[in-house]
Structure 1
Amino acid sequence: MTKISSEWSRRNFLRGALATGALVLPGSTVLAGCATSGGGQEQTEGEATDDNPLGVPTDSTLEIYIFNGGFGDAYATDVHQPMFKKKYPNAKIDHNAEVDIAGALQSRFVAGNPPDFVNDSGDGQIPLGQLVSDKQLYDLTDLYDAPSWDDPNVKVRDTLVPGAVESGVFGDAPYVMHMALTVYGLWYNKTLFDEHGWTTPTTWDEMTALCGEIKKAGIAPWTYQGVHARYMNWPLLTMAAKLGGPEVLTAIDNLEPGAWGHEAVKESANALAGLQKSGFILDGTVGMDHIQAQGAWSEGKAAFVPCGSWLESEQADVTPEGFEIAFMPEPLLSQDSAMSAETVRAQAGEPYIVPAQAKNPRGGLEYMRIMLSQEGARGFTEKVSSLTVVKGAADGVELPRGLTSAQQGLQAAGDDVLTWMYPTWYKDMENPGINSHTGELMAGRISVDEWVAGCEAEAKKVREDDSITKYTR
């Protein structure tokens, strides 16, 4: 994720907002009578009824911005917006697809004239924690407490997988709706493994032994997205939590002193750094971006690559025939690990927001309610080849092999599912922060102890900065 320019710092954002009188508090309203937008500004009004529980103004414009990146915007134009128009035929949808969300919208947030619904994603993402701390986002509690699109007797929140609502909570309220459910782990070519008789490892000892066999076959055991070192943070923290328990991750999220120096974290860092020392990483990986590293993996130059379950879709145009992409959880560092070998990280992602100063915020909430319906979620999966946070929405959908493999991995994990929040809460701590230190570690330029010291310094920087709002879980 590219760092947003310094103009978008909290102090400058706040100064600009105060100068224009644009800064207001987000609020939520009761689901009865007239519904008004956050901050007490009656920018839109609608009558809340059984058929319209969020009080959507039925003849107003809904201005939408969709990040035009890996998912494109067809899921919006072909699935969700037709559903909205069918229910509210007199409403107008102003659809915009944008690559650089911050470039297109940061001045509008400051001026107090944001759109009604934003897919705040991509390298030009406006930092979510920044928006929350500057009171720029609408409280989504009404959305999650509203009757679901499919069953008026079931609340929206009760149709979602565990952790979906919590993934967008800052403090004591949800401000971000995450739609995609990403399963993280290691990916390999099952066809290649079957040809060589290789078995996927469940322990790190088995992994290193297999890496030796793979190297003898003339294939690099691992590659990773070198210049985007966060990809290696994912297996590092997952394996650490498997070894030491999920409280390892909670301590990191809560900025506890010494959290990055936990023995489980250090052991995981040692294991991954050892791949480079053992010659198990594809030559040149350190300088590769995600396209180059994943491309080399697709070409069969490396056996394993860490990534989220979007990988199959991202590689679709370059994956050769006969390449059967498959998912596996990261191996256990010890047989005495606190969690099961099947444990995976699965996280709700792809953020959607309703600005506090939107002219039609109730329309924005309703658009989210549509997205979180069975039809809306199924359409999303079919269009972008991603699982969603809506329970059962992918049932009966013919998924690609890789995504099916990830779904099976998630089902096998049961309740042993991990997540962490610091990249969402503290963007700069993650990037360039932690990522830069992990990049140096994986390149062999610093030791594990130096990596720990660097990560601890990044956490301390946030912990001691009074201008940054802190969150805990």
Structure 2
Amino acid sequence: MIDLRIRTTQALTALAMAAIGVVPGCSLTRAGSSGVVTVEVAVFEGGYGIEWHKSVARRYEADHPGVRINLWGDPRVDEKIRPRILRRNPPDLASANLPVWKLIVAGKLYPLDEALDSPAYGQTDRTWRETMIPGTLGDFRYDGRTYAAPTALGAWVCWYDKRQFRRYGWEPPRTWGEFTRLCEQMTARGIAPLAFQGKYPGYAWATLLSLYQRLVPFERWYAMQDLQPGAFVDPDFVRAASLMQQMAVRYFQPGAMAMTHTESQMEWVNGRAAMVFCGLWLKNEMKSAIPAGFEMACFPVPMVEGGKGDPNALYGGGAENFCVFADAKHPREAADFLKYLLSIESARSYTIELDTLSPVAGSTEGIPISKELQSVVAVLDQSTRVFQDRISNLYLEFGATVLQQAQADLLSNRITPGEFARRLEAGAEATRRNPDIYKPRPMGVPEIR
């Protein structure tokens, strides 16, 4: 499953290609002469920042006097730790855009099951595994073991300003027809309907997959996730690509394809664009720019008239995944700190401080949550299930090259939806035929638990 922020780089691809050739190893170094164990934690410093992580680290140190957490972050953390992974000197714990499946198969990640099956912090009558929302630990299981755990619960939604909608008498759309008519009304008012993070065309992928899900039963949607032959040229996927292209050509703000994520989101915050598709990190990422009186709210990707998919399913799931390295100096201590990061106390502070959701069950109970987050919770409460892509995490080269460029060309109207589908199918076929690329067993439609 893809982390809801899709920012792939050449560095990811290079690591993906290199990780297969690395010989696995493991070492567990005990405390040095000072008697203190130092656990190094590297964090992707994106929309959520790292201040919450630091505050949890300080609490952990207070509760564990013999452990020091050396936690640092960087927006390009994956590039910083890549050479260290190859030299078998990685940090102990990391959250980064890494080719997790490549590292799992190469034996470079440490299984979390011993920690997952131990008593949870703050809920000692339950194991850590039992405190997690069902399904959030299933994305990186291999041979019965779990190799990563998410610290965020993501959802892909369309954000708008309730104040602006009230001013013009607009209502959140329930169907795609209502959505396009709303966009026409916005255009007539001289307001761009949609901001878009065009320098990162991967931002369109979750919306496109949501449109495809609205059109087909989950058996067909997951056939694509299982890389089944012909899945990308499914006529309904071509139709979803056509809807996506029409939206881009007609309703994206002029110049959107040249904007970064923050530039485009600033256009939305300032009212020059009325809506933006994004994940739950949006408010925290733009908090310093949101003007007084702005009322963030959201709605899911609307259902498509005549579609055969579940109209109430929601694109979302676990995000901001952390993993422990097998070559780490202190893998057991790193896993224990990860368990602490995902304790009920930490999860509640995560929700309060970052105004987003945690994958720990019950973490919103008994705490105040913002109106913005209440809007998300309402969408989640009305959903029948969550679903999310795993193609980009499984097949890094495909995601970073074929998929990114094809999306940019589709959104810029340089290729037709049919050409887009055929290009993805050709890239998928090359992946299927490549014996060096690990393909997990088909998962079919996951059970709702």
Q: TM-score, normalised by structure 1?
A: 0.86
Q: Decide whether the 8 Å contact of 2:194 with 2:252 is kept in 1.
A: yes
Is 1:418 the counterpart of 2:384? The answer is: no
Q: Note closer, same or farther for the CA distance 1:65–1:336 as it changes in structure 2 (3 Å cut).
A: closer
- Counterpart of 2:155? 183
Is 1:442 the counterpart of 2:448? The answer is: no
Q: TM-score, normalised by structure 2?
A: 0.90
- Summarize the alignment of residues 123-202 of structure 1 with structure 2, pairs less than 5 Å apart: 125-170=97-142, 172-202=144-174
Q: Note closer, same or farther for the CA distance 1:11–1:436 as it changes in structure 2 (3 Å cut).
A: closer
The letter for the 2-side match of 1:331 is P
**Residue in structure 1 matching 2:352, options 376, 382, 402:** 382
Is 1:71 the counterpart of 2:48? The answer is: yes
The letter for the 2-side match of 1:347 is G
Is 1:452 the counterpart of 2:399? The answer is: no
Q: How far does residue 381 in structure 1 lie from its aligned partner after superposition?
A: 2.1
- Summarize the alignment of residues 4-403 of structure 1 with structure 2, pairs less than 5 Å apart: 4-5=10-11, 8-10=14-16, 12-15=18-21, 17-18=22-23, 23-24=24-25, 39=26, 41=27, 43-44=29-30, 59-79=36-56, 81-120=57-96, 125-170=97-142, 172-277=144-249, 279-340=250-311, 342-403=312-373
The letter for the 1-side match of 2:40 is E
Name the count of aligned residue pairs. Answer: 433
Q: Distance in 1 between matches of 2:73 and 2:247?
A: 41
Q: How far does residue 9 in structure 1 lie from its aligned partner after superposition?
A: 4.6
Q: Distance in 1 between matches of 2:12 and 2:349?
A: 38
Q: Decide whether the 8 Å contact of 1:168 with 1:175 is kept in 2.
A: yes
The letter for the 2-side match of 1:111 is R
Q: How far does residue 335 in structure 1 lie from its aligned partner after superposition?
A: 4.5
Q: Note closer, same or farther for the CA distance 1:272–1:108 as it changes in structure 2 (3 Å cut).
A: closer
Q: Distance in 1 between matches of 2:423 and 2:430?
A: 11
Q: How far does residue 390 in structure 1 lie from its aligned partner after superposition?
A: 0.3
Q: Decide whether the 8 Å contact of 1:7 with 1:13 is kept in 2.
A: no
1:152 partner SS: strand
Q: Decide whether the 8 Å contact of 1:268 with 1:333 is kept in 2.
A: no
Q: Distance in 1 between matches of 2:132 and 2:248?
A: 40
Q: Decide whether the 8 Å contact of 1:441 with 1:451 is kept in 2.
A: yes
Q: If you compute each CA radius of gyration, which structure gives the higher value, 1 or 2?
A: 1
The letter for the 2-side match of 1:166 is G
Q: Decide whether the 8 Å contact of 2:11 with 2:79 is kept in 1.
A: no
The letter for the 2-side match of 1:298 is V
Structure 1 stretch 95-104 or stretch 324-333: which is displaced more? 95-104
2:49 partner SS: coil
Q: Decide whether the 8 Å contact of 2:43 with 2:95 is kept in 1.
A: yes
**Residue in structure 2 matching 1:469, options 419, 434, 438:** 438
1:38-61 C-alpha deviation (Å, 9 max, x unpaired): x5x55449xxxxxxxxxxxx9532
- Counterpart of 2:446? none
Q: Decide whether the 8 Å contact of 2:317 with 2:388 is kept in 1.
A: yes
1:239 partner SS: helix
Q: Distance in 2 between matches of 1:434 and 1:408?
A: 32
Q: Note closer, same or farther for the CA distance 1:5–1:152 as it changes in structure 2 (3 Å cut).
A: closer
Q: How far does residue 6 in structure 1 lie from its aligned partner after superposition?
A: 8.5
1:166 partner SS: coil
The letter for the 1-side match of 2:377 is Q
Q: Decide whether the 8 Å contact of 1:295 with 1:318 is kept in 2.
A: yes
Q: Decide whether the 8 Å contact of 1:116 with 1:358 is kept in 2.
A: yes
The letter for the 2-side match of 1:258 is G
Q: How far does residue 355 in structure 1 lie from its aligned partner after superposition?
A: 0.3
Q: Note closer, same or farther for the CA distance 1:6–1:366 as it changes in structure 2 (3 Å cut).
A: closer
Q: Distance in 2 between matches of 1:165 and 1:6?
A: 23
Q: Distance in 2 between matches of 1:113 and 1:136?
A: 11
Q: How far does residue 84 in structure 1 lie from its aligned partner after superposition?
A: 2.1
Q: Decide whether the 8 Å contact of 2:16 with 2:396 is kept in 1.
A: no
- Root-mean-square deviation over aligned CA pairs: 2.2
The letter for the 1-side match of 2:45 is N
- Counterpart of 2:3? none
- Identity between Structure 1 and Structure 2 (%): 26
The letter for the 2-side match of 1:372 is L
Q: Distance in 2 between matches of 1:386 and 1:93?
A: 24
1:167 partner SS: coil
1:387 partner SS: coil
The letter for the 1-side match of 2:415 is I
Q: Distance in 2 between matches of 1:215 and 1:462?
A: 42
